[in-house]
Structure 1
Amino acid sequence: MNIFSEAAKLEEQNRPFALAQIVDSRGSTPRHSAQMLVREDGTISGTIGGGMVERKVIDEALDALREKKPRMFHGRMARNGADAVGSDCGGAMSVYISVHGLRPRLVLIGAGHVNRAIAQGAALLGFEIAVADIYQESLNPDYFPPSAELLHADSFTAAVDQLDIKPENFVLIATNNKDREALDKLIVQPVAWLGLLASRRKVQVFLRQMRENGVDENDIARLHAPVGFNIGAETPHEIAISVLAEILQVKNHAAGGLMMAAPHPSQHQRVVIRGAGDIATGVALRLWHAGFKVIMLEVEKPTVIRRSVAFAQAVFQGETQVEGVTARRVASAEEAISAADSGVIPVLIDPLCQSLELLKPGGVVDAILAKENMGTRIDMAPITIALGPGFSAGKDCHAVIETNRGHWLGQVIYQGTAQENTGIPGNIQGYTSRRVIRAPVAGVMNACVQLGDIVSEGEMIARIGETEILAPLSGMVRGLLNDGLVVNSGFKIGDIDPRGASADFTSVSDKARAIGGGVLEALMTLMHQGVKSTRELVTVA
């Protein structure tokens, strides 16, 4: 069999294979010039000489296919020593292994005008296209690239079953009126990217319904919706560009953003945030959207109650999303830098800030909100900012952000302190302290409800040991500690929003946004003025 015609056939079918070619040989080797094709199942066409060296190259080729990366193999025809392959010929060879047939697959659920435009654009970008619909007339081959797989099914549930969707596939749902059916089937299925073309209102309704039906938060976090970049798209082809841009961003592990914006100092500036609770997360989102590379430092077991809007959840789950932005737990400063450069917000366990020497941030933000200074110093970074009481601007940090609700919320203070903590939670429909749930005893926390659940006054929502925790009022469970955390008596473990179903527990609060705006203002002002030399502010290793 001619391996190049076989390679062309496999490429056409988008079936993975590797090509192994001898690029160097010395001494006695089975072959000095040869190629071999290795399929995903380990079968081969051609040979590089047989024996142990060929077996080693096949294994290397299969590893290269799994990693989807080419590699160079060096082998010595010897029994022992570096690169030994277990033979006695005495020679050596180098084999370059390239990988092919790995076009990404885009599955389009629905064959309407937008998905037709997306299919045409995705084909030009090298995607393998599969389209499914319940209306045969919508699957007219004239609407799609010639190579597209078109599937007609009686229902979208049946279509998903027949499409053989794999974890590395990209999937977009865009049907006329069956989005929920397809979403229910796909939300629990791991894929590289799952998008839903829908309005914000529709997305919020679906999210609430899925949570009411017990869909796991980790599954919900994978959904990209509303999908696409905000470019003012209106026509199907404009929307296609918006959606494909997001798919490419995920596929290429890119940060996104305008190329022309790169010279702005924030694009090169790392900012470390101490803490990753709901307020810290609001700050992180503001900075991330402004182009800063945000790195968050947390304790080993963070006690955040508004978990759905706190990047601290990455500590427990490994990865989490808030408003479409991904945070991921990392194990080292080096890994944090790499994640931040790729557009992800890394969360590193480092309460003592020992990683700052390696991170070399342009700014540090203390967002622990402990009402006292937990070790933040003005010399931690060229710009140091702290939130709330317990800090003195000009002494502990360069700026303090006001955190008390009211007229001055989010104010930047360059000299002096923030207002003292009132100890009274924000007023929602006349409820303040009553809506906050505190532990009546010390012990291990275990929840009986989920975030977003609607509860009635007196309903049991958690246990601490054998002690039942009852809802102090009717409304939505907006905050609740993670299970398994040890709490002291009087510790804040949750809160109820009396607005009930109209409350939104999936997006950051107005308070967090206001404080985040204050941090962004302080950073930009101090960068412009220069707390230290311009070189220190702009050049971050």
Structure 2
Amino acid sequence: MNIFAKAAQLEEENIPFALANIIETRGSAPRHSGQMIIKADGSIIGTVGGGMIERYVIEQSLEALQERKARVVKGRMTRSGPDAMDMDCGGAMSVFIDVYGLRPSLLLIGAGHVNRAVAHAAHVLGFDITVADAYEDSLAEEHFPAGTKRTLGKNMEDAIDKLDINKDSFVVIATNHQDQDAITKVVDCDTRYIGLMASRRKVQTLFNHLRKCNVSEAHIQAIHSPIGFNIGAETPEEIAISIMAEILKVKHQSAGGLMKDDTRLNRNKLVLIRGAGDIATGVAIRLKNAGFKVVMTDISQPTVIRCTVSFAQCLYGNPAEVEGIIAQKAKSCEEVFKLIDDNKIPVMVDEDCCSLSSLKPTFVVDAILAKRNLGTTRDMAPITIALGPGFTAGEDCDAVIETNRGHYLGRIIYNGVTQANTGIPGNIAGYTHQRVLRAPCEGIMHNHVKLGDIVEEGDVIAHVGDSPVVAPLGGMVRGLLNEGLTVTEGFKIGDIDPRGIEADFTTVSDKARAIGGSVLEAMLHLEHTVLN
């Protein structure tokens, strides 16, 4: 068997391999033409000349297989210099390495009408297909496209045991009466995708069964069920298109959805929020849940005290999660759109909103709450909204939202200003300014407690430099600056909630929710009146 026949056989069997082909030589090269097959285990068929150059080609081929990407490698048969192979021949060689046998593995559990249609749809998409069932008649060759591997078991569990289920597998379960056995067998496997065909009612029954079997909630929630996209599919062929669309979405790590709704092409739902503190985060969550695409900006080290409910926290390293929504730092506008595609909220370090010209959002919301305008102008976007004092609706923004607690909290003003800053924190259980912690001097913050801790009056909460910061009253630590920040004398560094254990430091506050609702209302109103 020649090398190309062997390559064809490996490709047919979907066994990963690289094919190295000499494309150029100069001088005294070991060979001037030749091909070599390199399997994933490092074994070879054929040669490109032996010696160090061949070892190098094998190493590069294995890397190419890992990356699933072709490459060109160069080597000079010299002891020193660029691309030297520690050889004495004196020539040079270029080798093209391509990779094969890497068709994605699709395992169909159940050989009924739907999985037969899925097999035919997947065949033209280049999947390596295996179907398993416990009924021999269902596995008849004529039901499936050429090249489909068919696995028969004594029962469904036995058939599944014969499958090679691995981290690269896509698994679709579509059986008549054995779906419980099948999903119980497969759910803990490490795969790219597990899809289960079942009605919504049956999904709940099967998921409850898995919970009784002590299957982790993470594994249960990773199951795609009901399976596929909601396109009104009824026939097996239509259902197959729905299922394969979902599989391709996972395979390509794509956001899915309509092309016309891609934020890169359609900015009508794109909102840029200046600031990423707790109030801004409440606004962001409200808008995202209403279907808007949100990006936030802040300074490099935001001085937020409600860290557990502030998306600004992601700028200190790890992604931040609030009420099931994840925010992640974005270093570029390209990353912004990628994170939006991943259903996350991107947060950029962009104090001066330099990204506006690239992002081109339809809405800008100033949620910095600095009690003064730090550079927001009405021409930043078709619609601009600001929160709190320091703005005049009709001049530097289209609307301003009242942020002062009380009867008018959340009031939308389309002409004029909000109430002036009182300088008095909101009243909680009869306490206002008493519950606020301020820096006794300039220095670096060192915390002795964490958010959510219950403290007593007089407990040391932190040090600023060598000066202690003590709790002015008993309660829960609901706000505290990040460790290691430099602060000035009198700077707000935390707060104590006198409600103690009854307080909640993990969810958005009532104030943030009210303001978020008002921002949403103002956006919808202005969208109707300004853009139409």
Pairwise TM-score range, normalised by the shorter structure: 0.5 to 0.7
Q: How many residues align?
A: 465
Tell me how far 1:69 sits from its aligned partner.
0.8
Does 2:5 correspond to 1:5? yes
Tell me how far 1:206 sits from its aligned partner.
6.0
1:493 aligns with: 505
Secondary structure at the counterpart of residue 52 of structure 1: helix
Pair 1:311–1:67, CA change in 2 (3 A): farther
| Larger Rg belongs to | 2
1:71 aligns with: 71
Pair 1:417–1:181, CA change in 2 (3 A): farther
Pair 1:187–1:237, CA change in 2 (3 A): same
| 1:386-405 mapped onto 2 (5 Å cutoff) | 386=385, 393-394=393-394, 397-399=397-399
| 1:103-502 mapped onto 2 (5 Å cutoff) | 103-153=103-153, 159-203=159-203, 218-219=218-219, 222-258=222-258, 266=266, 271-273=271-273, 275=276, 277=281, 280-284=284-288, 286-287=290-291, 295-296=295-296, 329=328, 332-333=331-332, 336-337=335-336, 339-340=338-339, 343-345=341-343, 347-348=345-346, 350=348, 353=351, 356-357=354-355, 360-363=358-361, 365-366=364-365, 377-378=376-377, 381-383=380-382, 385-386=384-385, 393-394=393-394, 397-399=397-399, 414-415=414-415, 443-444=449-450, 489-490=496-497, 492-494=504-506
Tell me how far 1:237 sits from its aligned partner.
1.0
Q: Percent identity?
A: 39
- Note if contact 2:314-2:329 (Cα within 8 Å) is conserved in structure 1: no
- Note if contact 1:277-1:304 (Cα within 8 Å) is conserved in structure 2: no
- Note if contact 1:278-1:304 (Cα within 8 Å) is conserved in structure 2: no
Question: Partner amino acid for 1:131?
Answer: V
1:47 aligns with: 47
Secondary structure at the counterpart of residue 36 of structure 1: strand
- Note if contact 1:402-1:418 (Cα within 8 Å) is conserved in structure 2: yes
Tell me how far 1:415 sits from its aligned partner.
4.2
Secondary structure at the counterpart of residue 226 of structure 1: coil
Q: Distance in 1 between matches of 2:410 and 2:209?
A: 34
Pair 1:465–1:97, CA change in 2 (3 A): farther
Q: Distance in 1 between matches of 2:305 and 2:172?
A: 35
Pair 1:40–1:241, CA change in 2 (3 A): same
Secondary structure at the counterpart of residue 7 of structure 1: helix
Q: Distance in 2 between matches of 1:202 and 1:305?
A: 37
Pair 1:317–1:143, CA change in 2 (3 A): farther
Q: Indicate the larger mover: 371-380 or 134-143.
A: 371-380
Tell me how far 1:46 sits from its aligned partner.
1.2
Gaps of 5+ in 1: 426-441, 447-462, 467-480, 497-508, 530-541
1:460 aligns with: none
- Note if contact 1:366-1:386 (Cα within 8 Å) is conserved in structure 2: yes
- Give per-residue Cα distances to partners, 1:319-373, cap 9 Å, x unaligned: 99999xx9684562266146258x3245555465478439832126549697978
CA RMSD of aligned residues (A): 5.4
Q: Distance in 2 between matches of 1:488 and 1:210?
A: 44
- Give per-residue Cα distances to partners, 1:105-142, cap 9 Å, x unaligned: 11223333222211121112111112234555543443
Question: Partner amino acid for 1:114?
Answer: V
Tell me how far 1:374 sits from its aligned partner.
9.7
- Give per-residue Cα distances to partners, 1:265-292, cap 9 Å, x unaligned: 516986545549575245236556xxx6
Pair 1:385–1:224, CA change in 2 (3 A): farther
2:31 aligns with: 31
Secondary structure at the counterpart of residue 117 of structure 1: helix
- Note if contact 2:207-2:220 (Cα within 8 Å) is conserved in structure 1: yes
Q: Indicate the larger mover: 265-274 or 116-125.
A: 265-274
Gaps of 5+ in 2: 429-447, 457-477, 484-493, 498-502
Q: Distance in 1 between matches of 2:184 and 2:296?
A: 33
Tell me how far 1:47 sits from its aligned partner.
0.9
Q: Distance in 1 between matches of 2:91 and 2:419?
A: 77
Does 2:92 correspond to 1:86? no
Q: Distance in 1 between matches of 2:93 and 2:284?
A: 55
User: Could you state the TM-score of these two structures normalised by the residue count of structure 1?
Assistant: 0.66
Q: Distance in 2 between matches of 1:386 and 1:351?
A: 20
User: Could you state the TM-score of these two structures normalised by the residue count of structure 2?
Assistant: 0.67
Pair 1:398–1:138, CA change in 2 (3 A): farther
Q: Distance in 1 between matches of 2:247 and 2:114?
A: 15
- Give per-residue Cα distances to partners, 1:512-534, cap 9 Å, x unaligned: 899668647756876x47xxxxx
Secondary structure at the counterpart of residue 450 of structure 2: strand
Tell me how far 1:20 sits from its aligned partner.
1.0
- Give per-residue Cα distances to partners, 1:143-201, cap 9 Å, x unaligned: 32342233344665555443221112212233345545544554443322233333445
Question: Partner amino acid for 1:489?
Answer: I
Q: Distance in 2 between matches of 1:61 and 1:246?
A: 32
Pair 1:49–1:312, CA change in 2 (3 A): same
Secondary structure at the counterpart of residue 243 of structure 2: helix
1:59 aligns with: 59
- Note if contact 1:53-1:77 (Cα within 8 Å) is conserved in structure 2: yes
1:434 aligns with: none
Secondary structure at the counterpart of residue 489 of structure 1: strand
Tell me how far 1:15 sits from its aligned partner.
0.7
- Give per-residue Cα distances to partners, 1:17-44, cap 9 Å, x unaligned: 1111122222221112221111111111
Q: Distance in 2 between matches of 1:412 and 1:41?
A: 67
- Note if contact 2:260-2:266 (Cα within 8 Å) is conserved in structure 1: no
